[in-house]
Structure 1
Amino acid sequence: MGGQPLTFQLGEIPTVQERFQAVLKRRLQVEIQNHPPLFPWESQLIDYPEFVEEPSIALVPAWGWLAQQSKLNLPVSLPDKIFQQLMEKCQLLLTSSLPLGPKLVQAVESLFPEDYQLINDLAGLVLRTSYRSVDALETIPNIQSDYSDLQPRQQMALSLIAAKQLLENLTLPISFTNPVIEKQWQTNAGTLSIRVELQALGQKTKLCVHGELPTSGVLKLHGNSTQVIGSTSAGGNAPGTGEVVAESANLANPSVELFCERANKTYTLEVECPEIEEQPLFLAINLMM
């Protein structure tokens, strides 16, 4: 039987397709090399460096006082933002005459604005319970859980426990029965150490504060002092102002002293370490007679 002859055998079609694709690919490569495509923001071809020596966007440094959270006895870490907010609240409450319970509530309530009564109840439980972890207040299925995995009640309990420990960390109670107290605070540059001594000089009482800072910084002691004694730098204020300042140089070990009243009183110690954090660290020195 006669018929029209096929131009290609069926088995040859894939070979023709492969050749066509190879030719098309080569033409596209040549076209791209001769006329490289531009990004939407480019109007002409630009040669970019293989690497940038200095990043165009600077990294935001971590909050300087954040490292202290590692020293708290918490089973679950708080998010950095929440820890910072809690600490700022606690520092504002340091010199308040409120009892500890209301202080805890005020420190935490802004994190849970709709649950004031529950926070108040849990604060009482935190004060009454000999706890070592949040699961002493309520069972947590997985103690390695993230803060975001906890139930709201558990988050409240954890925040209250953290606030209580922060207030304790930020307070230095001192008296003649306990005339020397030391406190350490962890920073992202190392450990900050504060040593407070109470000395009786006849009818007068002297409060001495010594610091060992991980970087150069400034100590400021605030209070209605009767007389300011010389500090380790020329930065001391005039007698009777109620404030004395000591600046550290390379040794980063300032000290400051003042005569104080023989009465129950709270002095505020301000620690400035600009290389660590712009915001100062505030501690309360509770003088108990």
Structure 2
Amino acid sequence: MGAWIAQLKNFNLPVPVPETVLVQLLQRCQEIAHSSLLEGAKLVRAVEELFPGQSQALNHLAGMVMTSPARSGAATTSPPPGTSYPASYEAAVPAQQMVLSLLAAREILSSLTLTVSVSQPVVERQWLTETGVLTLKAEYEPDPNSAHLRIQGSLPSGGNLVLRGDGSQSRAERSTPGSLSVELFDLKPSQPHILEVQLAEADPTPLIFTVRTAEV
């Protein structure tokens, strides 16, 4: 996952979260982003392996995190009552570490999810990698006869895009930096689609996004 960590280090969290924790959260968030779970359940699922046996506390703190304001794409929230944020993640008490991990998970899940709709048919996303910036543009055409999803990617190095839907797949690759495009037709309403991005030179592990279509 080394190529993808640069983006996570740019999150505006109250206290920096260790890279080892961010890597684990990124892996878990990729696994659950496409699920039908509600946001709070996704956050708890993302961090529960870090805090075994603490599901009740995590559920409570996840509620706090979800109601906290997000400014300029950066999640911020107050620390648990009666405490303040410590100088480092390692120096934090468990409740503080839970909040910081939940905040990081919320940022990761948000970054990994692209939602296009009738009212917002185009969504763009950037992800900083160790070789440069990956740019993705999702375009949705809600044709009643053949709804259409197209992903354009600008890759900082050679690599490939794979877009998967319900029984269908579109793939494109190139050996040098530049643009790629994948698309699917005959989409089912509200069906999540999986987009895998792989940068051949930087990291053999793909980054997995979830692309959601909404009919509003």
User: Common fold, TM-score beyond 0.5?
Assistant: yes
Q: Is the CA contact (8 Å cut-off) linking 2:162 and 2:170 kept in structure 1?
A: yes
Alpha-carbon distance, 1:254 to partner: 0.9
Q: Percent identity?
A: 37
Separation in 2, partners of 1:194, 1:136:
34
The SS at the match of 2:9 is helix
Structure 1: runs of 5+ lacking an equivalent:
1-61, 225-240
Q: Does 1:146 align with 2:72?
A: no
Aligned residue identity for 2:22: F
More strand by share: 2
- Give the corresponding residue for 1:133: 76
Aligned pair partner of 1:121 in 52, 56, 60: 60
Separation in 2, partners of 1:63, 1:69:
11
CA separation of 1:201 and 1:141: change in aligned 2, threshold 3 A: closer
Aligned residue identity for 1:253: S
- Give the corresponding residue for 1:192: 134
Counterparts of 1:1-289 in structure 2 under 5 Å? 63-130=2-69, 132-138=75-81, 139-140=83-84, 142=86, 145-201=87-143, 203-224=145-166, 242-289=168-215
Give the greater-gyration-radius structure (CA).
1
Separation in 2, partners of 1:110, 1:251:
37
Alpha-carbon distance, 1:202 to partner: 6.3
Q: Deviations over 1:214-264 (max 9, x none)?
A: 11100000112xxxxxxxxxxxxxxxx501110023243111112132511
Aligned residue identity for 1:248: R
Alpha-carbon distance, 1:190 to partner: 1.1
Separation in 2, partners of 1:190, 1:251:
10
Aligned residue identity for 2:196: E
Alpha-carbon distance, 1:140 to partner: 2.4
The CA RMSD measured in Å over matched residues stands at: 1.8
- Give the corresponding residue for 1:32: none
Aligned residue identity for 1:267: H
The SS at the match of 1:253 is strand
Q: Which has the higher contact order (CA 8 A, sep 6+)?
A: 2
